[in-house]
Amino acid sequence: MIETIHTTLYFISAIVILIGFHEYGHFIVARKLGIKVEKFSIGFGPSLFSWRGKDGEVEYVIAAIPLGGYVKMLGENPYEQLEENETRVVLSEADKKRAFNNQPVWKRAAVAVAGPGFNFIFAIFAYMLVAWMGHQVLPPVIGSVNPNSEAEHQGLLVGDRIVAVDETKVTSWQAFEETLKLNVGGEHLLSIDRDGQHIKLPVYLSHPEKDVFLSNVAEEVLGLGLGLDILVQEVMPDSPAEKALLQAGDQILAVNGEPVKSVHGLIDVIGKHAGDTVQIQVQRGSSQLQLAVTPKGNEAGRGLIGVRLSAKPWAEPEWQRKGIWDGVVYGFVRTWEVTVMTGEMFKRMVSSSISADNLGGPIAIAQMAGNTADRGLVYFIMFLAFFSVNLAILNLLPIPVLDGGMLLFLAIEQVRGKALSPEMQMRFQMVGMLLIMTLMLFAFYNDIMRLFRG
């Protein structure tokens, strides 16, 4: 119960901060351009608190459902425009000049872009703060090399520190993996620090069997690992693992005689043996045990044994902290890297090369918010920055009701020389709303299914 409250509070905090910043972008740019703003709301539904600004023009609202927000501008809503046309409501000359729909295209585009733009700005400053505060990273030091792998063939050794991929410097294992994901296909040069000696080794990055963004490229393509102890964190009641006498704290060494080098690798092997008994070798204290486990198939036919796993790296984490100027550079560079990665993920999901089952909804976001907050403030800020970039890109999709949909309408207006009729805008808005609601429901369904699957 306490954990649920804790997760919910951090989720609400994240949503309020990021949605508030997004809507403030629309709000401040509209006001600066002379457009009349009638309401600024954080959240949807019934109003919990409301007040008016000093000029009495804008109503500020904190609403009951903290899953979004909006800025209501005079003349923005097609429904409103229809009503005015039908009932011949006449605005004052002053209000006509300030109505959103009477503004030139560039002003309306500036207001539409401002929301996602402020999310990018938030991410840049958040990543700057992360760089200045400092955080722990796993060093890009090779802990294991798989036999007969690309890494072994090219002469990479345990203990080598990866310095760069081509001209891209890497300072953590995560950065190394992200760089590999963006460079699959073709030959690349790895810059290596081996006992103080700088070496450059060519490697060929073939495409993994699964989509690159769902793969561990270092392990699956190159055959490199950090070097990890795979530990059982929790055994689910009445699970195949409990029946086989697996215990929390066991270190999993091998499955059917094949060494286990990553959580992903273990899940993959178990997933292929639904209904088949496998031999799992574990280290328990000073003893090694051989346990027979029969994975149970889920609805997708993948084997599960009912455990929560953790990975303890052999390498000691390193403290990474940057100075003022380097932190500024990091803010821009990291935001760009996350933008590229997120854009690729969206593109692949739309093209169906990545299954939509990987889409996360409010429960997944809440869990991420709670988990990162548990690790410390700097990790929560990193989550906010990452989520802010995702929010910006999502809103730039050319779907009516999103900012990208507004930009699409404005582009059509610029080409045609006149705006779409309010009736046509209304129809598109309804289609867009249906698409977004369907997407949200599907993401929520994915969240529920993940909870049931454990």
Contact present, 246 and 232 (Cβ < 8 Å): yes
Write the DSSP string, 49-64. EEEE-TTS-PEEEEEE
Per-residue tokens: 385: 């920055």
Q: Which residue in 97, 128, 121 sits closest to 25, CA to CA?
A: 121
Euclidean distance between the first and the last CA atom of the chain, given in angstroms as a whole number: 18
- Residue 322 and residue 132: Cα distance in Å, rounded? 5
Could you say which of 23, 80, 177, 219 is catalytic? Answer: 23
Write the DSSP string, 275-301. TS-EEEEEEETTEEEEEEE-PEE-TTS
Tell me the three-class secondary structure of 325-383, residue by residue.
Answer: HHHHHHHHHHHHHHHHHHHHHHHHHHCCCCCHHHCCCHHHHHHHHHHHHHHCHHHHHHH
C-alpha Rg value of the chain to the nearest Å: 26
By the 10 Å C-beta count (0-12 exposed, 13-18 middle, 19+ buried), 391 is classed as: buried
345-353: long-range contacts at Cβ-Cβ below 8 A with a sequence spacing of 24 or more? Answer: 345/213, 346/393, 346/394, 346/397, 348/211, 348/213, 353/211
Q: Which residue in 202, 262, 278 sits closest to 229, CA to CA?
A: 262
The reply to whether 23 belongs to the active site is yes
- Residue 229 and residue 123: Cα distance in Å, rounded? 34
Q: Which residue in 108, 87, 117, 110 sits closest to 420, CA to CA?
A: 108
Q: Which residue in 218, 160, 213 sits closest to 191, CA to CA?
A: 160
Task: Just list the catalytic residues.
Answer: 23
